[in-house]
Amino acid sequence: MKLLRYGPKGHEKPGILDADGVVRDLSEHVADISGETIGDEALSKIAALGLSTLPAVDVERYGPCVSGVGKFICIGLNYSDHAAESGLPVPSEPVIFAKATSAICGPNDNVEIPRGSTATDWEVELGVVIGKEAKYVDEADALDYVAGYCVINDVSERDFQAKREGQWTKGKSADTFGPIGPWLVTRDEVTDPQALPMYLDVNGKRMQDGNTNTMVYGVAHVVSYLSQFMSLQPGDIISTGTPPGVGLGMKPVPVYLKAGDEMELGIEGLGTQRQKVVQG
C-alpha cells in the first residue's frame, strides 16, 4: 500500500493511492497516518478496505507521509563512496545523529536556505518508518519492525554541520530540511530494501545516481543496531544515508544550493519529490 497525507499544512488528511494512481480519502477509517495507525493489525484493516468505494480526491499538496514523528534518526557516511567524497573514512559502525522533527515538511514544499548559510546541500535517502516498538532486536528479525519506506531529502548546511562547534545536528535541523514522502510504502511492496535505485537532480542536472545496494550497513543491521541503544517507537523515522554526488563533493570546488534552484529526487517504487529553494 501507498499511504499518504494531503491538504494544507497542519490540516492534512490521511489518504491512500490506488492501483490506478488515484488518491482516495481514508479519513472515515483512520484519524491520521501516524504511529498509532501503521502497526501490522491497523495496516491489515486498511488493506481489507475496498479502495474503489473510498472518495477520490484531487491533491494540491502532499504533507509529510507520517505525522507525529517522535524520533528522526539519521545514519551518516553509510555509503563508502559518499564517505570518500566527504574526505572521511568508512565508519567501523553506524554513525548516528538526529534531525529535529521541526525540520519535517511535505515532499514538494519549498526548502528554505537558513539565514547566514553559504553551504546548503542536498542528499537523497531511503527513509525507514518503524511500525512497532523495537528494543534489543536481532538483525534477522529487524525488518518485521518496519512499517514501510519513503523518500527523504536530508537537506544539510555543511558549514553549520562541520565548521561550527559540536555535533552535526545543527547543520541538519533547519526548518524544511526534512522533506518526507510523498508516500509511506508498506514493507510488503518492497521486496528488497537493498536493491532500490535512487537519484537527485538540481535544475534538471543529475547530481546523484545511486542504489541502496551500496550501503555500508543495510536496513536490517541499522534497525537492529539502533535498538541496542534506544527503543524505536511506531512512527519513528530512520534516514539511512546518501550515495555520492552531494554538493560538498563537487570538484574542483563544492556547489551549493541557492534561491531559485529546483530539486527533483526519487527512489524506485517510492515516488518522487520536487522542491524549490527559497531564502529563509
pLDDT tens-digit series, residues 81-101:
777 777 778 889 999 999 999
Q: Say if pTM beats, i.e. exceeds, 0.85.
A: yes
Higher pLDDT pick, 25 / 81 = 25
Q: What average pLDDT does this structure show over 153-172?
A: 89
Classified by CATH at the fold level, domain 72-279 comes out as Fumarylacetoacetate hydrolase; domain 2 (3.90.850)
Q: What is the pLDDT of residue 261?
A: 98
* Alpha helix ranges (H) inside 108-238: 158-162, 219-227
Q: What is the pLDDT of residue 163?
A: 81
Q: Nearest 5 degrees, angle CA 143-CA 146-CA 147?
A: 140
Domain ranges within the chain, ordered by starting residue: 2-57, 72-279
Residue/partner pairs of 15-24 with CB below 8 Å, 24 or more apart:
15/57, 15/59, 16/46, 16/51, 16/54, 17/183, 18/51, 18/52, 19/51, 22/56, 23/56, 23/57, 23/58, 23/59, 24/51, 24/54, 24/55, 24/56, 24/57
Q: What average pLDDT does this structure show over 19-39?
A: 96
Q: What is the pLDDT of residue 80?
A: 81
Structure confidence at residue 222 as a pLDDT band (50, 70, 90): very high
Q: Is the pLDDT of residue 246 over 90?
A: yes
Q: How far apart are CA 143 and CA 162, in angstroms?
A: 33
Amino acid identity at 55: P
Structure confidence at residue 259 as a pLDDT band (50, 70, 90): very high
- Residues facing 127 on adjacent strands: 150, 239
Q: What is the pLDDT of residue 189?
A: 97
Question: For 183-202, what is each residue's pLDDT tens digit?
Answer: 999 999 999 999 999 999 99
In 160-215, where do the E strands start and end?
178-179, 184-186, 197-202, 205-211
Q: Which candidate, 265, 252, 261, places its Cα nearest to that of 206?
A: 265
3 state SS of 97: strand
Higher pLDDT pick, 232 / 83 = 232
Structure confidence at residue 215 as a pLDDT band (50, 70, 90): very high
Q: What is the pLDDT of residue 81?
A: 77
Structure confidence at residue 137 as a pLDDT band (50, 70, 90): very high
Question: For 38-94, what is each residue's pLDDT tens digit?
Answer: 999 999 999 999 999 999 999 999 999 999 999 999 999 898 877 777 777 888 999
Question: For 103-131, what is each residue's pLDDT tens digit?
Answer: 999 999 999 999 999 999 999 999 999 99
Q: How far apart are CA 202 and CA 32, in angstroms?
A: 32
Q: What is the pLDDT of residue 77?
A: 87
